[in-house]
Structure 1
Amino acid sequence: MTDIEFLKYPIGKFQFDPNSDEHSLQKAIETIKSLPEHLMETVKYLSEPQLDTPYRPGGWTVRQVIHHVGDSHMNALIRFKLALTEDNPTIKPYDEAAWAKLSDYSFEIELSLALIRLIHAKWVAILEHMTEADFQRTYFHPESQKAQTLLEVAHMYAWHSQHHLSHIQQLMIRENWTTPTP
């Protein structure tokens, strides 16, 4: 299937259930926790030309996706800390497409894989010690003009983790890139 909507959203668009329960939250935290390992395992045998292959026509390369996840999740960790220490802070949006054109997005992926591993270790340490009240804390996102609870944001970044991991995995399937055994 090469439908552009599927290529953009291989696991579907993010939808948050405001009535999510403790089980769905724990599943979201586990997804965030396991992303670094899954991402490293997925890309560890890719060649340089494969890393520089876009996951869809007009889309980012695998390399850019990995660097984007590092930057995006770094921002997420900072936003969590702001919301946990301030009353409904206004976060700073950033132009993801412009960031993807910066020179560091051409660097080797090991830098961002290490960054993702470290960010997720810190982030999960916070997530696993948050109370129910902590997950109800909010930040204000000026692009959407709404306050978002950290409960919603945790679910959104679990989706974001799977979303970009799936971009890479689906490309590998379409291109029939096999993973060699060490």
Structure 2
Amino acid sequence: MTIQSDTVRYPVGPWIDKGSYSADLIQQLVERINTLPEEYQTVADSCSDDELRRQYRDGSWTVQQLFHHVADTHLMHFMRLKNALSSPEPTIGVMADVNAWAVLDEARTAPIQASVTMLRGTHQRIAFLAQTLTPDQLNITYFHPPRQRHLTLAQALDIIVWHAEHHLAHIRLALSL
């Protein structure tokens, strides 16, 4: 049974490994990676300055911080994917304290359009990269620091989609309050 705090913390549910990632599922993930930035743009276009300061729960990041967080972390995901493909023994790669990043003045005050633009470009690159991957490459693993586990590139694509949907739901939740 999901309790209220879990539905606020995980409005789209926690990420769950699909176990098997067929070519059709990878194509669905790529299509979603391509469409998500436009959903962020639509929300950004409707946000007032007051709405950018809203939180989806007490103590959470603001709408503005969430926009920047998603753009920042998806750039890190892209770099992790490329590192996994280009290094014979991928290491941790790009790692950051995203909580510390979110409280920087830049993350609290920068225009969200910059992050929407960044997200659009990063997602285009991720989608293009994903479409070039062979089944063997989709099974390459790398260590994902926040999850403290190894992920295949297929799982990483799934997490990218989940993460964008997860925080878009947080943003929508904050805006509906």
Partner of 1:111: 114
> Normalized against structure 1, the TM-score is what?
0.88
Name the CA shift for 1:145/1:13 in 2 (closer, same or farther; >3 Å): closer
Matched, 1:8 2:9: yes
> Normalized against structure 2, the TM-score is what?
0.91
The one-character-per-residue Cα deviations of 1:34-77 (angstroms, maximum 9, x if unpaired) are 11101101221110010111122111100000000010000001
Partner of 1:100: 102
Deviation at 1:141, TM superposition (A): 3.2
Kindly indicate which of the two structures has a greater share of residues assigned to helix. Answer: 2
Partner of 1:70: 71
- Alpha-carbon separation, structure 1, partners of 2:99 and 2:155: 24
Deviation at 1:143, TM superposition (A): 5.4
Deviation at 1:23, TM superposition (A): 2.2
Matched, 1:87 2:65: no
> Could you list the runs of 5+ residues in structure 1 that have no partner in the other structure?
176-182
What is the aligned residue count?
Answer: 173
Name the CA shift for 1:101/1:145 in 2 (closer, same or farther; >3 Å): closer
> Could you list the runs of 5+ residues in structure 2 that have no partner in the other structure?
none
- Aligned CA RMSD, in angstroms, stands at 1.6
Helix, strand or coil for the counterpart of 2:151?
A: strand
Greater mean deviation of Cα atoms: 135-144 or 33-42:
135-144
Greater mean deviation of Cα atoms: 161-170 or 20-29:
20-29
- Alpha-carbon separation, structure 1, partners of 2:171 and 2:145: 30
Greater mean deviation of Cα atoms: 70-79 or 51-60:
51-60
Amino acid at match of 2:75: M
- Alpha-carbon separation, structure 2, partners of 1:23 and 1:50: 38
Identity percentage over the alignment?
A: 32
Deviation at 1:166, TM superposition (A): 1.1
Query: How does 1:20-99 map onto structure 2 within 5 Å?
Result: 20-91=21-92, 92-99=94-101
Partner of 1:127: 130
Structure 1 runs (4+) deviating above 3 angstroms are 141-146
Deviation at 1:144, TM superposition (A): 4.6
Deviation at 1:29, TM superposition (A): 1.4
Name the CA shift for 1:142/1:42 in 2 (closer, same or farther; >3 Å): closer
